[in-house]
Amino acid sequence: MTTIIREIREQFNPAKPSQCIGQVELLTVDETKEVVTAANKAFEDWKNTSSVVRGELLRVTADLLEQNIDKVAETASNEMGKTKNEMIGEVKRGASILRYFAQEGMRATGEVLPSANEGKMLYTMRVPLGVVAAITPWNFPVAIPLWKIAPALVYGNTVVWKPSIESALTGKLIGELFEQAGIPKNVLTVVQGRGSKVGQVLLEAPEVKAITFTGSNGVGQSILDSAGSTKKKIQLELGGKNAAIILADADIHLAAKLTMEGAMKQTGQRCTATSRVYIEESVYDEVLARLIEEAREIKVGTSMGPVSSKGQYESILAAIEKAKLEGAKLVYGGGPTQGKSEGYYIDPTIFTNVTHAMGIARDEIFGPVLAVIKVKDYEEAIRLSNDSEFGLSASIYTNNIQKAFDFIQRSEVGLVQVNDETGGAEPQAPFGGMKNSSTGAREQGQAAKEFFTTFKTVTIRTQGM
Ligand code: UN1
């Protein structure tokens, strides 16, 4: 008899850190290895299951997710702090992702090509890779996992999914919904644990053929260091330092409202959050005043949740202190929310007098902090918006069609927005960044097929035997 001693982790509510909301058992290294072996075995049947049937399973999971929307949203909100409303939006997005990829099961998986040789038929087939490891963050505990798991499954891969330890209870619930939908054993397995143990097994296991990860640049780099030489396919979606530009001809009211939403939705904890805004000098004072008005409208504790954990709380407050020391001028917020006896609440925070030598203009803060920068004109704005190691998303607010198109051309990002906030993603469109924001392979839409499948090219001699 073997006795397995697992580490138990308690989850606490970031709105009320004294409240334990549940426990998760973390897997051991050996158990994780067994999961990978079993997933590899399950691949044999799953890859031969009709993709229409695989898609149907995703559709049933979407129905179950919708039926359980309240429970999933409540669990996630209690676990990582996002407001219940924000979570309901995310769960709905999760269902749309499942439905989009369910349909993929009915679409073409190859094409017939002309051969240069008479009497030969030439065609391609998309084939799955094998076991895929999905390593996902806490900030979108439903949508991001589903936009990795759903395409991986429908194209015939088996999946070992490691949710962030900080959204483990939500991960468990999502895994149960797939089970309830009837997913065969070991086709999707949720592995709870730490990156240094469970994650490491996934990076090293030879049976794992692809790794899809969303999270910090630091962890992304360590994935490349560990798995980069193993010939696994690797997809990394990393940080952002997303800029918005507000030109003098813009609808100023709309621009200020959406810039603040872009910065503060989910308490700024989105890799697509707006974290720098460049304002043309002729409208600077007016826009800044409106931004502050918009910030005042935010009710911390109701319309904006706490940040997700003590670690997040401390690192965001440290970034705010650093900005003050570097000489940025605090014009709104700037610290823990007054009057909250507990919870990791931070006020929406706005800094002006920001230069590009400061950390606040360069580093991803992942919190409710916006840097406001005055620019002479559009040229200066585009130059500064591109002056970043990141290249995920960028917005321009303007009614000038030439400038809008120029921005679309010259902005060094994967997601460009005109008169809209920097965040957001739809399941049918490719998502991802340039520069240090990504390894390049896009997620969602038809782009997902590129990552989660490979080709078999087939030639058949049809004549002259
Ligand atoms: C969105 O902006 O709605 O981790 C999606 C993140 C991104 C997803 C953003 N990968 O914040």
Q: Is residue 447 part of a domain?
A: yes
pTM of the model: 0.97
Q: Is residue 130 part of a domain?
A: yes
Among protein residues, the one whose CA lies closest to atom 6 of ligand 1: 271
User: Looking at the structure, do residues 316 and 393 belong to the same domain, yes or no?
Assistant: yes
Among protein residues, the one whose CA lies closest to atom 3 of ligand 1: 424
User: Looking at the structure, do residues 20 and 163 belong to the same domain, yes or no?
Assistant: yes
Q: Which of 239, 243, 322 is nearest to 276 (CA)?
A: 243
Ligand 1: distance of its center to the CA of 395 in Å?
15
Q: Is residue 428 part of a domain?
A: no
Tokens 């997040």 -> residue? 312
Query: Is residue 370 within 8 Å of residue 361, measured between CB atoms?
Result: no
User: Looking at the structure, do residues 41 and 131 belong to the same domain, yes or no?
Assistant: yes
User: Looking at the structure, do residues 249 and 233 belong to the same domain, yes or no?
Assistant: no
User: Looking at the structure, do residues 220 and 313 belong to the same domain, yes or no?
Assistant: no
Q: Is residue 425 part of a domain?
A: no
Q: Is residue 380 part of a domain?
A: yes
What are the residues facing 20 on neighbouring strands? 12
Each of the 465 residues of the chain gets a pLDDT tens digit; together they read 567 778 999 999 999 999 999 999 999 999 999 999 999 999 999 999 999 999 999 999 999 999 999 999 999 999 999 999 999 999 999 999 999 999 999 999 999 999 999 999 999 999 999 999 999 999 999 999 999 999 999 999 999 999 999 999 999 999 999 999 999 999 999 999 999 999 999 999 999 999 999 999 999 999 999 988 899 999 999 999 999 999 999 999 999 999 999 999 999 999 999 999 999 999 999 999 999 999 999 999 999 999 999 999 999 999 999 999 999 999 999 999 999 999 999 999 999 999 999 999 999 999 999 999 999 999 999 999 999 999 999 999 999 999 999 999 999 999 999 999 999 999 999 999 999 999 989 999 999 999 999 999 999 999 876
Instruction: Reply yes or no on whether 379 is catalytic.
Output: no
Q: Which of 90, 85, 83 is nearest to 66 (CA)?
A: 90
Q: Residue 415: which H helix or E strand, with range?
A: strand 415-418
Residues 6+ apart with CB under 8 A from 101: 55, 58, 150, 151, 153, 154, 427, 448
What are residue 158's phi and psi, to 5 degrees?
A: -100, 155
Residue among 93, 139, 167, 308 whose CB has most ligand 1 atoms within 8 A, to mutate: 139
Query: How do 415-418 and 274-280 pair as beta strands?
Result: unpaired
Ligand 1: distance of its center to the CA of 166 in Å?
17
Which atom number of ligand 1 is nearest to the Cα of residue 237? 10
User: Looking at the structure, do residues 399 and 444 belong to the same domain, yes or no?
Assistant: no
Query: How do 242-246 and 208-214 pair as beta strands?
Result: unpaired
The domain that holds 155 is classified in CATH as: 3.40.605.10
Q: Is residue 215 part of a domain?
A: yes
Q: Residue 204: which H helix or E strand, with range?
A: helix 200-204
Q: Which of 219, 301, 240, 233 is nearest to 267 (CA)?
A: 301
Neighbours of 248 (CB within 10 A): 17
User: Looking at the structure, do residues 222 and 254 belong to the same domain, yes or no?
Assistant: no
Among protein residues, the one whose CA lies closest to atom 4 of ligand 1: 271
What are the residues facing 65 on neighbouring strands? none
Q: Which domain holds residue 59?
A: 7-238+437-460
Structure tokens that stand for 407 in this block? 């921005």
User: Looking at the structure, do residues 231 and 151 belong to the same domain, yes or no?
Assistant: yes
Residue among 92, 138, 144 whose CB has most ligand 1 atoms within 8 A, to mutate: 144
* Ligand 1 site, CB within 6 A: 137, 139-140, 144, 214, 237, 270-272, 423-425
Among protein residues, the one whose CA lies closest to atom 5 of ligand 1: 424
Q: What is the pLDDT of residue 232?
A: 96
Residues 6+ apart with CB under 8 A from 401: none
User: Looking at the structure, do residues 233 and 268 belong to the same domain, yes or no?
Assistant: no
User: Looking at the structure, do residues 187 and 229 belong to the same domain, yes or no?
Assistant: yes
Q: Which of 79, 237, 294, 443 is catalytic?
A: 237
Q: Is residue 2 part of a domain?
A: no
For the chain, what is the domain count? 2
User: Looking at the structure, do residues 215 and 67 belong to the same domain, yes or no?
Assistant: yes
Q: What is the pLDDT of residue 143?
A: 98
User: Looking at the structure, do residues 267 and 326 belong to the same domain, yes or no?
Assistant: yes
Residues 6+ apart with CB under 8 A from 176: none
User: Nearest-5° angle of CA 22, CA 27, CA 33?
Assistant: 155
Which atom number of ligand 1 is nearest to the Cα of residue 422? 2
| Rounded alpha-carbon distances, angstroms, from residue 157 to 42, 78, 171, 453 | 9, 32, 19, 8
| Burial state string for 39-49 with b = 16 or more CB within 10 A and e = fewer than 16 | bbebbeebbee
Q: Is residue 426 part of a domain?
A: no
Which atom number of ligand 1 is nearest to the Cα of residue 271? 11
Q: Under DSSP, is residue 228 helix (H, G, I), strand (E, B) or coil?
A: coil
